[in-house]
Structure 1
Amino acid sequence: MNSDVASRQRFWLVFLLFLHTVNTYMDRVCISAAKGAMQKDISGLDDQMMGYVFGIFAIGYALFQIPAGWFSDRAGPRMALTIVVIIWSIFTAMTGAVFTAISLLAVRFLFGMGEAGAYPGATRALYSWLPAKERGLGQGIFHSGARIGAAASLVVMPWLVGLIGWRMTFVANAAIGLVWGAVWWFWYRDDPSKHSGVNQQEVELIRAGIAEEAATESKLPYIQVVTSANVLLAMFQYAASNITFFISITWLRPYLVKTWGEEYGYLSALPLLCGAVALWVSGYAVTHLHRRGMPVMSRRLPATIGYAMGAIGLILCTQTADSNSVWIFIASFSLATFGVEMTLSPSWAFCMDIGGSRSGAVSAAMNMVGNLGAAVSAVAFPYFVANVTIPMVAETPGTANSFFVFAAVMNVLALIAWQFMNPRRELKEVSPAAMKTRLAFFVALIALVITVLVYVNFLMPKG
Structure 2
Amino acid sequence: MKGRRESEHFPRVVSMSTTDERPRVRPTPILLHRRRGMVIVLLCVMYFIAYFDRNNIATAAPQIMGDLHLSNAEFGLAISVFSLFYALLQIAGGWVGEKFGPRLGLLVLGVLWGLSTLFTGMAVGLVTLLVARALLGLSESATFPTATQAMSRWVPRDRNGFVQGIVHSASRLGNAAAPITVAWLIQLVDWRFSFISVGVLSILWALIWYLMFRDRPRDVRGISKVELAEIPDIPKAADRPPVPWRRLIRSILPVTLVDFGYGWAAWMFFTWIPTLLVSTYHQNISKYGLATSAILAGGVIGDWLGGVLSDAILRRTGNARNARRTLLLIGFIGAIVFMVPLVFTPPLPFAIATLALAFFCLELTNAQLWSIPMDVAPTWSGTASGMMNTGFGVAGIISPIVVGALVDWTGSFAFPFGLSAGILVAATILAAVMRPKVVDPIAPPEERVTA
Q: CA deviation at 1:259?
A: 6.2
Cα distance in 2 for residues equivalent to 1:359 and 1:339: 26
TM-score (norm 1): 0.74
In structure 2, the residue matched to 1:92 is 117
In structure 2, the residue matched to 1:17 is 43
TM-score (norm 2): 0.76
In structure 2, the residue matched to 1:403 is 419
Q: CA deviation at 1:154?
A: 1.1
Which of these residues, 208, 226, 229, is aligned with residue 183 of structure 1? 208
Which of these residues, 128, 142, 145, is aligned with residue 153 of structure 2? 128
Q: CA deviation at 1:147?
A: 1.2
Cα distance in 1 for residues equivalent to 2:326 and 2:441: 22
| Aligned-pair Cα RMSD in Å | 3.7
In structure 2, the residue matched to 1:277 is 301
In structure 1, the residue matched to 2:436 is 421
1:125/1:274 Cα in 2 relative to 1: closer, same or farther (>3 Å)?
Answer: same
1:220/1:296 Cα in 2 relative to 1: closer, same or farther (>3 Å)?
Answer: farther
In structure 2, the residue matched to 1:8 is 34
Cα distance in 1 for residues equivalent to 2:62 and 2:417: 33
1:156/1:315 Cα in 2 relative to 1: closer, same or farther (>3 Å)?
Answer: closer
Q: CA deviation at 1:374?
A: 3.9
In structure 1, the residue matched to 2:12 is none
Which of these residues, 86, 90, 95, is aligned with residue 65 of structure 1? 90
1:205/1:250 Cα in 2 relative to 1: closer, same or farther (>3 Å)?
Answer: same
The sequence identity of aligned pairs, in percent, is 24
Unaligned runs of 5+ in 1: 212-217, 389-396, 428-463
Residue 254 of structure 2 corresponds to residue 233 of structure 1: yes
Unaligned runs of 5+ in 2: 1-30, 443-451
Q: CA deviation at 1:78?
A: 0.4
In structure 2, the residue matched to 1:337 is 359
1:295/1:371 Cα in 2 relative to 1: closer, same or farther (>3 Å)?
Answer: same
Secondary structure class of the residue paired with 2:33: coil
Q: CA deviation at 1:205?
A: 1.5
Counterpart residue type for residue 336 of structure 2: L
* 1:376-431 alpha-carbon deviations (Å, 9 max, x no partner): 5446667889999xxxxxxxx9666743651352243133234x23447989xxxx
1:417/1:251 Cα in 2 relative to 1: closer, same or farther (>3 Å)?
Answer: farther
1:170/1:355 Cα in 2 relative to 1: closer, same or farther (>3 Å)?
Answer: same
- For the 8 Å contact 1:307–1:339, the answer to whether it is kept is no
1:41-80 alignment runs, 5 A limit: 50-80=75-105
Counterpart residue type for residue 112 of structure 1: G
Q: Which moved more, 1:403-412 or 1:197-206?
A: 403-412
* 1:99-158 alpha-carbon deviations (Å, 9 max, x no partner): 565344323312221121221111000000001011111100111122110211112123
In structure 1, the residue matched to 2:182 is 157
* 1:179-237 alpha-carbon deviations (Å, 9 max, x no partner): 211111111000111112522221121138x79xxxxxx95644213321x21111111
Q: CA deviation at 1:170?
A: 3.4
- For the 8 Å contact 2:114–2:199, the answer to whether it is kept is yes
In structure 1, the residue matched to 2:388 is 366
Cα distance in 1 for residues equivalent to 2:82 and 2:264: 19
1:119-268 alignment runs, 5 A limit: 119-207=144-232, 221-228=243-250, 230-252=251-273, 262=283, 267-268=291-292
Cα distance in 1 for residues equivalent to 2:61 and 2:199: 18
Cα distance in 1 for residues equivalent to 2:35 and 2:65: 45
Counterpart residue type for residue 35 of structure 2: Q
Q: CA deviation at 1:21?
A: 0.8
1:291/1:11 Cα in 2 relative to 1: closer, same or farther (>3 Å)?
Answer: farther
In structure 2, the residue matched to 1:289 is 313
- For the 8 Å contact 2:256–2:389, the answer to whether it is kept is yes
